[in-house]
Amino acid sequence: MLRIILFGAPGSGKGTQARRIEREHQYKHVSTGDLIRTEIQKDTQLGRKMKILVDEGRFVPDDIMIELVKNRVNNEDIINGYIMDGFPRTCNQARSLTQIQVSREVAIYLNVQNEAVIVNRILSRLICSNCGAIFSTIARPPKKNGICDHCETVLVKRADDNETAIKERIRIYHRETLPVLEYYRNQGVLNQVDASLEVNTVFSKISELIN
């Protein structure tokens, strides 16, 4: 079983690339963002706690995220492998993920050096409230204004896709997540892709790394 780990600041294209990898290479996309949003939509006690953190641009604590991820990757629908999108964010999470055995692991850092590019990408982002497809009012607008191309559901903006929350997420990312790259570099599985390139080019480079 292959585990693909996508790293990158908010807006680096992790979700877009993960969904395409799932579609074209048949590995399951495991998005911690989706796991969190599902819990919030259920309006559980845990979901309400996470909503406060998400709306403020803060990350969910390690112990909660680790439990959510373990439950998902142990699901019987994951056969050939999976793509981690948004996890691990900390060295503690990385060590916990390593304990889940796989036959091969590839970590890919989607690097975007210009913060302004990241902010503009996120501010233009639209997400399907039903199937999770991602669009951009600038780079990839839907065929019908505000409507998903795939399931014709209304597109929405995430509550935390505002400039204040974005900059806070980037600040936390650099403080907490970049050290995780050293962990995977020491494991000998870290690769880097220039995520400021065109989307298809980025995908081609990722495909070369996981084949």
Sheet holding 81-85, edge to edge: 28-31, 81-85, 2-7, 104-111, 190-194
In the structure encoding, which two tokens stand for residue 76, read together? 């019987």
pLDDT at 147 over 90: yes
3-class SS letters over the chain: CEEEEEECCCCCCHHHHHHHHHHHHCCEEEEHHHHHHHHHHCCCHHHHHHHHHHHCCCCCCHHHHHHHHHHHHCCCCCCCEEEEECCCCCHHHHHHHHCCCCCEEEEEEEECCCHHHHHHHHHCEEEECCCCCEEECCCECCCECCECCCCCCEEECCCCCCHHHHHHHHHHHHHHHHHHHHHHHHHCCEEEEECCCCHHHHHHHHHHHHC
- Give me the mean pLDDT over the 61-82 stretch: 90
- 33 pLDDT band, cuts 50/70/90, is confident
For residue 125, indicate whether it is catalytic: yes
For residue 204, the model assigns a pLDDT of: 97
Instruction: State the fold for domain 2-112+161-210.
Output: Rossmann fold (3.40.50)
pLDDT at 45 over 90: no
Q: Which of the following is catalytic: 20, 89, 121, 205?
A: 89
For residue 89, indicate whether it is catalytic: yes
For residue 14, indicate whether it is catalytic: yes
For residue 127, the model assigns a pLDDT of: 92
- 83 pLDDT band, cuts 50/70/90, is very high
For residue 34, the model assigns a pLDDT of: 83
143 neighbors 126 (Cβ within 8 angstroms): no
What mean pLDDT is reported for the chain?
Answer: 90
Q: Which of the following is catalytic: 28, 58, 158, 167?
A: 158
pLDDT at 176 over 90: no
- Residue 79 has a CB neighbour count (10 Å cut-off) of 10
Q: Which of the following is catalytic: 19, 121, 125, 205?
A: 125
Q: Which of the following is catalytic: 3, 14, 20, 37?
A: 14
For residue 169, indicate whether it is catalytic: yes
- 131 pLDDT band, cuts 50/70/90, is confident
In the structure encoding, which two tokens stand for residue 186, read together? 């020491």
Higher pLDDT, 138 or 207: 207
* Residue 55 backbone dihedrals phi, psi, to 5 degrees: -65, -25
For residue 208, the model assigns a pLDDT of: 97
Q: Which of the following is catalytic: 3, 19, 121, 169?
A: 169
- Give me the mean pLDDT over the 81-96 stretch: 91
